[in-house]
Structure 1
Amino acid sequence: MTRHRLSRSAAYALAAAVALLPATPAAAGGDDTLPAVQPRSETAPLYDDEAGGNADADDPAIWRNPANPDRSLVVATAKEGGLRVYDLDARLVQSVPAPPGPGPDDAPGRFNNVDLVHGMKLTTGRADLAVTTDRGNDRLRVYRVDPADPARPLTDVTDPAAAPVFSADQAEINEERTAYGLATWTDKATGRSYALVSRRERTRIALLELTATASGRVGYREVRTLDLPASFRLPNGADWSPCAEPGELPQVEGMVVDPADGTLYAGQEDVGVWRLRADLTGTPRLVDKVREYGVPATYDEATDECVAGADPGYGGTRLTADVEGLTLLEEEDGDGYLLASSQGDNTFVAYDREIGDHNEYEGGFRVTATSAGPDGSEECDGAAVLNQPLGSRYPHGLLVVQDGHDAPGDGDRAATNFKFVDLGKVKDALDD
């Protein structure tokens, strides 16, 4: 596998370029004046404990059935619980278990993020694929979507010879600095499909080309990697890094690629949103920063928390760490929005799609509880949007968001799930 990494000098130059961003006053919290939208339905809760199968909702993807949009599906990750497939009423259709670890003392499979590839050419014909990062085994797993089998639409087509994405061996895999965030991308110029994968507790992103085997399976090969900065030069001349446990670097999770021009948006959780080429060439640009950017903090081992100092005022005004759940609301005329989950204040931030240009702030919204139905979304980890008609339930499209605190809970058990939101309401909120 060929590896192309940013040199040390290039990384310093990239970090220095960030310092040229204008300083903006940091806000104390989220904007309570943002419009609220309510979910139409929600999935059953997932529980991250032994009784609940160690299932923890994280990231969704929306698959549209072109022949029968009413029978479209939502594919979502549930960590050690594997994948869950839901219909448009948020009812469970299929549960796909994560694979075990190779040995009794090795970590089991743990599915973190999921995305879709449409019409990839396999030896068995073209197929839509659901691709997920298996954080537990440091691999990608790939599932063919079969619309002819409504009870079991996903079939595992992962090449059994697929190698770890980042780790050299099982001992390194067990250290859990493994495949984490994910976005898929099909290059219009070549027709080749790729997965962009981030590494847990590191700043690295890898570009992997998805490859079809002679047996109808799907593997991958590394094309190149890129390391985002871990340290930043502030306008006052000081160097700053986000606070974390010793040895941890500011990781990326939420990612999405604009298919129109191959632009990758990557959310570095405690830093902000980056814009870069999906082929990982060129220089990334930080298009917005979290409010906490530049705030000095020290990790306290006794409390497992970061103790923050005085805010120098270099952060942004829209995002509260962590940045999560990036997704793209595409419109036919090339307009649309980049949506980002501002996890720290339970809001969603919208930026102009701006193909080949800057991404201006266009507003935001909250997903809040209905009077007699689903609750809202808090500490959202993942989101997916599809601006296409999905039959009678969602004729204006669908937004699916993870809820990190599903209510009501079940005693002392923390619950998570996914909320389904009419996209028409979201567009109305952003147009107000």
Structure 2
Amino acid sequence: MQTQKKTHSQQWQRTLCAAMLITTALTVNTSSANSPAPTLPEFVKSSLDFRQLNNGDWLILDKKSLRLLSASGVELTSMKVRAKQFDVRESANYALAALIDSDTQNVLPIRIQQAQFQLQTSLPAATSALESSCLYRDQQQLMHLFVIAKSGHAQQWILEDNQARLVRNLALPANAKSCEVDDRTETLYVNEEDFGVWAYAAQSESHAARGAVELRQPYGRLQHGAHAIHAMQNGIAILDAAGSNISLSTSTSAKQDWKINKQFSKKTHAAWPQKAGILRSVDTPGKRNLFLRDDSKKTWIAITSLASKVSPVTAAIPVLLPQAQTEEMSRLGDAADDPAIWRHPLDSQQSRILGTNKKQGLLVYDMQGKQTQLLEVGRLNNVDVRQQIQWQDGVSDIAIATQRDDHSLVIFDIDQNGSVREVSRIATGLKDIYGTCLYQPSRGGLEAFVNDKDGVVQHWRIERKNSAYQGTQLRQMKIATQPEGCVVDDKNARLFIGEEKRGVWLTNADVMQASPLKLIAKVGEQLHADVEGLALYHGKKETYLVVSSQGDNSYVIYDAQAPFRYRGKFRIGFNIEKGIDGSSETDGLEVSSASFGTGYEDGILVVQDGHKHLPDGAQNFKYINWKQIAKALQLP
């Protein structure tokens, strides 16, 4: 790598910070007839690819090198390399470029700082021919790199702290020609050769489904697929395979309904390239200028200037960091489901996290996430714990889980050391048992609520006599569609039930004071279906209801008393320092306001992670300290 150092003013930090405060949305209005056509500096026009940085410098790719030039065209540094194109992202104090070396097939992430090039990190050597790479900066401002092979095998990497960490593997179309990411909408665009353009979620914790943007006929509006793509704000520019038309497409509803807002054609553009190459854009005040490379004349042609406007910056959902994670499930696929917390009576750091495995049984973990027990008792779904239960023949700590093979409630005894053993089962008569939660009335004993996928909710009284358990059904309720998560506020005898598609219901947990179900949190703007895990945090001043909003991979907080005010929501992201990924598609969760020692003085939230990444693996559970949540949402 050949570099040369030059004196250079450092402006990245303030220009990038200013840019982050303003979100630009493109309109489809082209520049007026009296406006001059957008132009590029002469030293850019002959490049294979280019990007202008926020401080005005230019990155130029030619046949044999990548170069950094000042706004006036003075070369600041360069490196010898052959590549077809490259991508760039900027942080507060440096820029990152990524390209595929045509000779070695190595992906080169190049750090650009103080007018120098430096290899940010080395990625493993490619095992198959590479076709494309593109960068993405997430909501945490972490740098990601997508690498796509001609076979369609793709990988997503995080490039931070001079390290490359594999986040996940992806299955993309074979012969994917190129990729681009719109950071604002967190959309990964992939151009499948001879077929068209697909949209994926760039956020690794999102669902891996794809949506069609523009496909070839008869599946879409393109004649033979797409030749080139370029991500724009809230949309994408697509050059058709013939190189004769450019369409600007935007999504109107969650990347599913794509609409062409504007088209530019060779027929109406006098300077249209004879042999079209790639698309690029340059921002100027109030404009985003689109250029198309003419590969025959080896120059860039101005296509149009799009008017840009300042749009309000939407409040970002806080992204919090997990402090620990459990060991992975021993079964792949959808296995982990629901956690529960048992607190050690003398040493809180010796407490245990119980977690269900829908393919195997019950797992027990310590506060560092190490598995201490596996009870292979069949397909368990939900689990809940109560401690210091007053029975006729003594006091004990109990966990109860739903068993989907025999549709029973499985009762587990927990001894003073946190060791768990099965002691009994109670048949429910349900056809498809699902969720459960426990209620410890002030009068003593234990009660359980258990639901079925058809909406039936049963209320059981659990009794123990001479160390033998039995159950008596007290009542039955019905919800219109499928419930699962539920939680009881023991002190106030309030039962919260989650109906996956509609929201959270409330009723009285005391059978002697039964009340009609009331919908207190609806699926809508803040809460997204499926509504999954529910838990209660009993703080010194307030009690909060925590709900897993599975549809947008977030966690919503409400006051647990009328009027059940919405307090905010958050997501769980990467803890790069500890090598822990975020969480997504959370089924069950549990929270406690008790102190669990260093790092969890104000309590702990435990959530199921539907997709284990960094790297890919079997599902597990993540631990988050409550203090972080309270600070982010300004909870008293």
**TM-score (normalised: structure 2):** 0.49
The equivalent residue for 2:327 is 44
The equivalent residue for 2:429 is 166
1:282 maps to 2:533: no
Contact 1:110–1:137 (CA under 8 A) maintained in structure 2: no
Q: CA-to-partner distance for each residue in 1:375-413, whole Å, 9 max, x for gaps?
A: 011000011111111123422211100000011455xxx
> How many residues matched?
322
The equivalent residue for 1:398 is 604
Contact 1:55–1:82 (CA under 8 A) maintained in structure 2: no
User: Which one of 318, 321, 328 corresponds to residue 35 of structure 1?
Assistant: 318
| C-alpha distance in structure 2 between counterparts of 1:390 and 1:114, whole Å | 20
Q: CA-to-partner distance for each residue in 1:29-56, whole Å, 9 max, x for gaps?
A: 7x8711111001111222545xxxx881
Contact 2:391–2:444 (CA under 8 A) maintained in structure 1: no
Q: CA-to-partner distance for each residue in 1:240-296, whole Å, 9 max, x for gaps?
A: xxxxxxxxxx21111011122111111000111111111362111111221xxxxxx
The equivalent residue for 1:431 is 634
User: Which one of 403, 407, 422 corresponds to residue 156 of structure 1?
Assistant: 422
Structure 1, unpaired ranges of 5+: 1-26, 99-108, 168-176, 231-249, 291-315
| C-alpha distance in structure 1 between counterparts of 2:545 and 2:334, whole Å | 29
The equivalent residue for 1:140 is 409
User: Which one of 439, 445, 468 corresponds to residue 192 of structure 1?
Assistant: 445
The equivalent residue for 1:5 is none
The equivalent residue for 2:540 is 332
The equivalent residue for 1:217 is 468
The equivalent residue for 2:567 is 362
Shift of 1:429: 1.3
The equivalent residue for 1:131 is 400
The equivalent residue for 1:178 is 432
Q: CA-to-partner distance for each residue in 1:311-356, whole Å, 9 max, x for gaps?
A: xxxxx211111001100011133x12101000010001110122xx
| C-alpha distance in structure 2 between counterparts of 1:430 and 1:376, whole Å | 18
1:419 maps to 2:625: no
Report percent identity of matched pairs.
34
- What aligned pairs does 1:16-95 form with structure 2 within 5 A after superposition? 33-46=316-329, 48-49=331-332, 56-95=335-374
User: Which one of 443, 459, 468 corresponds to residue 207 of structure 1?
Assistant: 459
Contact 2:396–2:414 (CA under 8 A) maintained in structure 1: yes
SS in 2 for 1:392: coil
Q: Structure 1 residues 117-126 or 266-275, which shifts more?
A: 117-126
The aligned amino acid for 1:403 is: D
| C-alpha distance in structure 1 between counterparts of 2:492 and 2:380, whole Å | 29
| C-alpha distance in structure 2 between counterparts of 1:260 and 1:211, whole Å | 20
Shift of 1:187: 1.3
Higher RCO by CA contacts (8 Å cutoff, separation 6 or greater): 1
- What aligned pairs does 1:307-326 form with structure 2 within 5 A after superposition? 316-326=524-534
Shift of 1:360: 1.0
The aligned amino acid for 1:430 is: L
| C-alpha distance in structure 2 between counterparts of 1:360 and 1:95, whole Å | 40
**RMSD of aligned alpha carbons:** 2.0
| C-alpha distance in structure 2 between counterparts of 1:65 and 1:350, whole Å | 27
SS in 2 for 1:158: strand
| C-alpha distance in structure 2 between counterparts of 1:419 and 1:279, whole Å | 33
Report the CA distance shift for 1:348/1:289 in structure 2 as closer, same or farther (over 3 A): same
Structure 2, unpaired ranges of 5+: 1-251, 255-313
SS in 1 for 2:337: coil
Larger-Rg structure: 2
- What aligned pairs does 1:363-378 form with structure 2 within 5 A after superposition? 363-372=568-577, 373-378=579-584
**TM-score (normalised: structure 1):** 0.71
The aligned amino acid for 1:289 is: K
Report the CA distance shift for 1:415/1:70 in structure 2 as closer, same or farther (over 3 A): same
Shift of 1:212: 0.5
| C-alpha distance in structure 1 between counterparts of 2:364 and 2:500, whole Å | 27
Q: CA-to-partner distance for each residue in 1:65-89, whole Å, 9 max, x for gaps?
A: 1211110110111112211111100
| C-alpha distance in structure 1 between counterparts of 2:315 and 2:380, whole Å | 34
Please identify which structure carries the higher strand content.
2
